[in-house]
Amino acid sequence: MNWKNIIRNNPKLLWLARYFLRWLRPLYAQPIIGWIEYIRFFKDWRKYRATGGLAYPKNFYPCLADRTHETPIDPQYFYQAVWAFAKIFAQAPRIHIDVGSDVKFVGMLSAAVKVEFVDIRPLSVQLENLLCRQGTILKLPYPDASVQSISSMHVIEHIGLGRYGDPIDAEGTRKACAELQRVLTLGGHLYLSVPIGKPRVQFNGQRVLSIEEIRTFLSELNLVEMALVDNYGKFHANVIPEQVTYDEENGLDFALGCFLFTKIKL
């Protein structure tokens, strides 16, 4: 018996499931603080009613984690999107290929250039300037040396670890780089980001690579430019790869390297 299908096909059960999930989600995210926040929630509801507002319990939608001192972001995804968008927009390719990057970045990019998005998990959206294709970075649906502009941001480190349903393969990242390198044409641009630091496998989440490994995996390409989101979440444009250092000794996690490669020979 497939309970998910039963719930989806029954409007009343679907409403109840969503309702209780909204109440439980804050407790799942913050098991201790969530209970305290619910006290504030009901105090705020009483204040709202006292001002003449109407809000009935059947319509409650508790959002208890948004009262922060600063707007929260993931600095790696934020800065890599801004960096890649600016570079791709400046080049103004006829069509840009993206493989598996954050879909919000891909959607926004499609407002500026025509984008073809390839991912192992189909993206079911409809935008005039965005074509979505199911595929794998290990076998891209393009001939050799046929792609002028391609990006894959925060992706290659996952390949081969099974996280997204891909086959287990210890050489997954190297093979992904070889495939990106294969499809890039002479003078074409590859925009790539990957966790960098002390090389290690954080199974099954991701790999952390050294800059030397990345350049070795893409030995047929020329590194034009590198940017860095350091271990503290600070962005550095136009860094010199040989001068990049990591501060992982203080308990901090990996940094992020953003790389612009080009192919100078076939």
- Provide the number of structural domains found in the chain: 2
pLDDT of residue 266: 67
Residue 62, Cα to own-chain centre: how many angstroms?
Answer: 26
Please tell me which residue, 176 or 2, carries the higher pLDDT value.
176
Is 124 a domain residue? Answer: yes
Structure tokens at 107: 């959607």
Q: What confidence tens digit (pLDDT) does each residue in 209-230 have? A: 999 999 999 999 999 999 999 9
The CATH number of residue 242's host domain is 3.40.50.150
pLDDT above 70: residue 232? yes
| Close Cβ partners of 90 (under 8 Å, ≥ 6 residues apart) | none
Q: Are 144 and 244 members of one domain?
A: yes
- The DSSP secondary-structure symbol of 167 reads P
Q: Are 158 and 219 members of one domain?
A: yes
Is 22 a domain residue? Answer: yes
Q: What confidence tens digit (pLDDT) does each residue in 38-86 have? A: 999 999 999 999 999 999 999 999 999 888 899 999 999 999 999 999 9
| Domain containing residue 54 | 3-59
Q: Are 47 and 177 members of one domain?
A: no
CA 76 to each of CA 151, 153, 154: distance values in angstroms, whole numbers, following the listed order: 16, 10, 9
Q: Are 95 and 226 members of one domain?
A: yes
Q: Buried (b) or exposed (e) across 86-119, using 16+ Cβ within 10 A?
A: ebbeeeebeebbbbbbbbebbbebbeebebbbbb
Q: Are 38 and 98 members of one domain?
A: no
Q: Are 211 and 238 members of one domain?
A: yes
Is 122 a domain residue? Answer: yes
CA 133 to each of CA 58, 119, 175, 181: distance values in angstroms, whole numbers, following the listed order: 40, 7, 20, 19
Tokens 């005039």 locate to 128
Is 157 a domain residue? Answer: yes
Q: Are 154 and 99 members of one domain?
A: yes
Is 241 a domain residue? Answer: yes
Domain boundary among 31, 59, 87: 59
pLDDT above 90: residue 265? no
Q: Are 104 and 7 members of one domain?
A: no
Is 66 a domain residue? Answer: no
